[in-house]
Amino acid sequence: MMRLSVALLLATAIAGCLSASLPQKEEQNVEMKPLRKIMIHGRPIHGLVPTPVEENKPENKAATTPAYYTQKLDHFDNTTQRTFQQRYWYNPAYLKSGGPIFLMLGGEGPASSSWITTDSLYFDTMAKKYNAAMFELEHRYYGQTRPTSDQSTSNLKWLSSRQAVEDTAAFIRAMNSVHQWTNPKWIVFGGSYSGALAAWMRQNYPDIVAGAVASSGPVFAKLDFLGDLCPAFGDAMPSDKDIQNFYDTVMGNFMYTVQYSQDNVAYFANELTIPAVCAKMTANNGNSNVQKLADVNTFVGGFFGGGCTGTSYNDFIKGMQSTSFNSPYADSRSWVWQTCTEFGYFQSTDQTNNIFGSTVPVSFYVDQCTAIYGSQFNQQTISQSVDSTDAFYGGRDNYKSCCREVCKTRDN
């Protein structure tokens, strides 16, 4: 009780510092929304892999029109014949006879043709160098790939990485047939969650995937993954969950910066970086540590058009409970479902080795799973699901894939 009281006093002080209007800044590639949470269960509002700036060169425009592949809804139940339309893009501009096929895997957000039409990206540069065709495949339940009418709990049962891996395998085989390619060398690419998908594709389907580029792919699932003036908490006394929600939001500024610092995409390259945030936290300007946290919040929030820092836990849960694909929380609802049923990846302060102490326990994220999807989701069931994921893929220590030359040496 004493710890929560101290947390409330500090949170109230921080919230007061954050109540001033945030500066406005033109945002690239991210829908302008009032600042509420830029990180939800470790996922930024634009997805874990930011969309690059598209150059829109004339020679690239033919590849910006999406196509659709008729995908099976359930790859593990032969009695289910339902299908859905999976969105993808294709650019054969660099393909020459015998060249490989590059496939960028979509993750927990809308996919974009930018990945296969922006000449300056490493993905496109490598495709040009090796005479490769390029594909981008959107993940089921994200963006415009909507297998079901809504995101009710009963309809989300077909959302999993295992289904996504099978989607990719089916797509590759179908494209081989459509384009009449014989023994093509498919290389799958991905970052963060989609990086794990790329690694799992190489591991599970070495017969059709020659290689994978898995940038920061978390193949090891883990429950706890180490304008206007705004009122601090409204008129009512904040609940414990409101306080935890507030700290989770403030902590997200640091998670977000560390995740993308100096990535060569938009403002991450030179503006929103670890050195920039550290400079605000260590500035010798007479500001208190609380005010410096507020300075960081103002700085990061400026990249999202400003707005109020969200404090209401109930408002957040209400938004996440919406089952409509047209909800602004739609992609976040899909991602949080995957954390609650497969991965965990929760980023709590239970280990206490951080500047926020023990203000946001892992139970805060477990309780979200229960509140959003139902009472059948609790710490025991989530832990069992995380263990099942690691057992299925091999986790960090038993990942089985390797390049063909290394595999031959190992097996001999």
State the chain's mean pLDDT as an integer.
Answer: 84
Is 296 among the domain residues?
yes
Residues 344, 232 share a domain:
yes
The pLDDT of residue 248 is 86
How far is the C-alpha of 45 from the C-alpha of 329, rounded, in Å? 9
Backbone CA torsion sign across 92, 93, 95, 100:
negative
CATH label of the domain that carries residue 128: 3.40.50.1820
Of 184, 217, 250, the residue at which a domain comes to its end is 217
Tell me how far apart the alpha carbons of residues 346 and 42 are, in angstroms, rounded to a whole number.
7
Do 257 and 376 fall into the same domain? yes
Q: Which residue, among 146, 145, 139, 190, has the nearest Cα to 160 in the 3D structure?
A: 139
Say if pTM beats, i.e. exceeds, 0.85: no
Outline where 240-361 has alpha helix (H): 240-260, 274-281, 289-301, 313-320, 330-338
Q: Are 198 and 190 in contact (CB under 8 A)?
A: yes
305 and 387: one domain?
yes
Q: How confident is the model at residue 330 (pLDDT cuts 50, 70, 90)?
A: very high
366-386 per-position pLDDT tens digit? 999 999 999 999 999 999 999
Domain carrying residue 381: 2-49+222-391
pLDDT of 51 reads 67
Domains identified in the chain, total number? 2
194 with 263, same domain: the answer is no
Within 13 Å, how many C-alpha atoms sit on residue 51's CB side? 23
pLDDT over threshold 90, residue 410 = no
Tell whether 197 and 86 lie within a shared domain.
Answer: yes
pLDDT digits (tens, 9 = 90+) for 288-329: 888 888 888 888 888 877 667 777 889 899 999 999 999 999
Radius of gyration of the chain (CA): 22
Most confident of 4-13, 114-123, 211-220: 211-220
Q: Which amino acid is at 24?
A: Q
16 pLDDT above the threshold of 60: no
Q: Are residues 212 and 228 in the same domain?
A: no
Cβ proximity of 240 and 218 under 8 Å: no
